[in-house]
Structure 1
Amino acid sequence: MKKLYLIFAVSLLSACATTDIQSPGSQEPLDRSIPDSAPSDSDRSFSNKTPREPKPRVENKSRYGNPPYYEQDGKVYHVLDSADGYIDVGVASWYGKKFHGRRTSSGEIYDMYQFTAAHKTLPLPSYARVTNIDTGKTVVVKVNDRGPFVKNRLIDLSYAAAKKLGYDDKGTARVEVQVLASPRSTGVGATYERGELVIPPIKEQNSTPGLFVQVGAFSDALRADTLAARLREFFQQPIKVTPFKNSQGMTLNRVRIGPLGDGSTAESILQQLRQYDLGSTPKLVTE
């Protein structure tokens, strides 16, 4: 399994004021009614050729960016298990120069000159046709990022995609988003059926009661919540923050992954976490 990025481990120790999910669209959910500054020729450090629209294809879900759910700015988003049949209408924004070269939620590097997009709940990667409702212009994009988290925004397109749709100088446009290819359903998680989001009841099937990996315990509740939010980006397991009082009467907030299905899963998670200095030693616990 690919190692977690070192920046992930370092950021866990910071008492951050946000619980973003580490993507250009989410790190700073700006109102892009005023567009990003227009790129210059010197900005073409990643793409020197005219971009081609990606060819839609069914891919496996990316290792990163596909937790069953995540929380952003106090709101919970359920990532779709598969987006076959998805179609929706809403407002598109775009992001460009400010995030060029930074890592997306899927782990890919954002290139504003390629046809890509950020969406809050589509599985990564998905491929979608985006149509400017006012002009009829269309573009096919690869959805490889999370966002936008500004109210009433449906999708965040790359600079190149926004330019092809003709709204790069306006900031936003009314669009239709139709998924052309999406990872195959695993049979669990949220789905999109007949235009409605269907969230299955949470079940803890085939799990050993009370088997957890405890990542840390913090007196600072914000630090515990921040750690939990970041862990959800890397592990498709339940992540819980539970307060308790220690023997000295101090309230601590335990961050735990689980309940887990078996000991081998727990050991795999422990091995990944132990590669980094998290300020505490992850350990296997039972309740």
Structure 2
Amino acid sequence: MRAGPHTPLARFAVFVPFLLTVWTLSGCAGAPSPRTYPPGYPIGYVERGTASWYGPGFHGNHTANGERFDMHQLTAAHRTLPLGSVAVVRSLTTGRQVTVRINDRGPFARGRMLDLSYAGARALGMTGSGTDEVELRVIGYEGRPGGMGFLRVQVGSFADPANARALIDRLKGRYPDSRIVTVELPEGKRYRVQVGQFTSETQAEAAAERLGSLLDVTPFVVRDDT
């Protein structure tokens, strides 16, 4: 059968070159460049524990990565994940989930794993209860290249710098890399004593256990942000 100008066969003949043009242009565009991560970055890392949240008392303060904390943004604080990590947080109570970016350090309370912003906590429906059991899964990274610093053990936090210096003097003989980090909190300055430069969680946790027994304290493993 001959193809007239309005037959299906004629219309198909016009459409084929169009498809070839689209496919050619798509091929020229190429695949997107693969995302790169710092060496040792924990993509796919999963952790379960208790999440809390923070909001009005910290709104506008500087976070660990230098940003201003905005409680209406989907962010969170974690002690060791590299700043800029992107994680899906799922409530083990309700099944609700939210994607957040790690831009701060904390929580520094025993038994807590994650501090969500008010917006993150509201997405999970946990602002009323204050805490929830959650699963965190790292899915991406939006931080600086090479942004993974050493792990350190925080053994104390003091309002009086003299107390921090006294603890440093006690630790210097065994841990010469001990240091004091000054942070601004809503209740005023705090002087945190940190020990060591560890490259793995296993090393840091072992040191934390030794320091806890030595000093009769509850230490925290934190990442030294670069």
Map of 2:109 onto structure 1: 150
Task: Give 1:154 shift.
Answer: 0.8
Seen in structure 2, the aligned counterparts of structure 1 residues 100 and 186 have a Cα distance that, compared at 3 Å, is: closer
The alignment partner of 1:174 has SS state of strand
Contact 2:53–2:118 (8 Å) recurs in 1: yes
Which residue pairs with 1:229 in the alignment?
180
Matched, 1:130 2:72: no
**For 1:160-195, what per-residue CA distance to the aligned partner results, in whole angstroms no more than 9, with x for missing partners?**
1100100111100010000011367789856xxxxx
Give the corresponding residue for 2:79: 120
> Where does 1:268-287 land on structure 2 (aligned, <5 Å)?
none
Q: Is the 8 A contact 1:81 1:186 kept in 2?
A: no
Q: What residue ranges of structure 1 are gaps of 5+ in the alignment? A: 1-56, 62-79, 191-198, 200-219, 232-237, 240-287
Q: Distance in 2 between matches of 1:153 and 1:161?
A: 16
Matched, 1:106 2:48: no
Tell me what 1:179 maps to: 138
Change (3 A) 1:99 1:60: farther
TM-score normalised by L of structure 1: 0.40
Aligned-pair RMSD on alpha carbons?
3.7
Measure, in 1, the Cα distance between the counterparts of 2:89 and 2:140: 13
Q: Within 5 Å, which residues of 2 pair with 1:1-287?
A: 82-182=41-141, 222-223=164-165, 225=168, 228-230=179-181
Instruction: Label 1:95 to 1:186 Cα distance change in 2 as closer, same or farther (>3 A).
Output: closer
Aligned equivalents of 1:84 and 1:144: distance in 2?
17
Alpha carbons 2:98, 2:124 under 8 Å: kept: yes
TM superposition shift of 1:222: 3.2
How many angstroms apart in 2 are the aligned matches of 1:147 and 1:100? 15
Quick check: which has more Rg, 1 or 2?
Answer: 2
**Residues 101 and 120 (structure 1 numbering): CA distance in 2 closer, same or farther, change over 3 Å?**
same
Query: Match of 2:138, SS?
Result: strand
Task: Name the TM-score, length of structure 2 as normaliser.
Answer: 0.50
Indicate the structure with greater helix content: 2
Query: Are 1:88 and 1:178, in contact at CA under 8 Å, matched by a contact in 2?
Result: yes
Q: Distance in 2 between matches of 1:113 and 1:156?
A: 14
Q: Secondary structure at the match of 1:230?
A: strand
CA distance in 2, matches of 1:142, 1:187: 15
Local SS of the residue matching 1:130:
strand
CA distance in 2, matches of 1:163, 1:107: 24
Residues 105-145 of structure 1 deviation map (CA, whole Å, 9 limit, x = unaligned): 11111000000000010001110000011111110001000
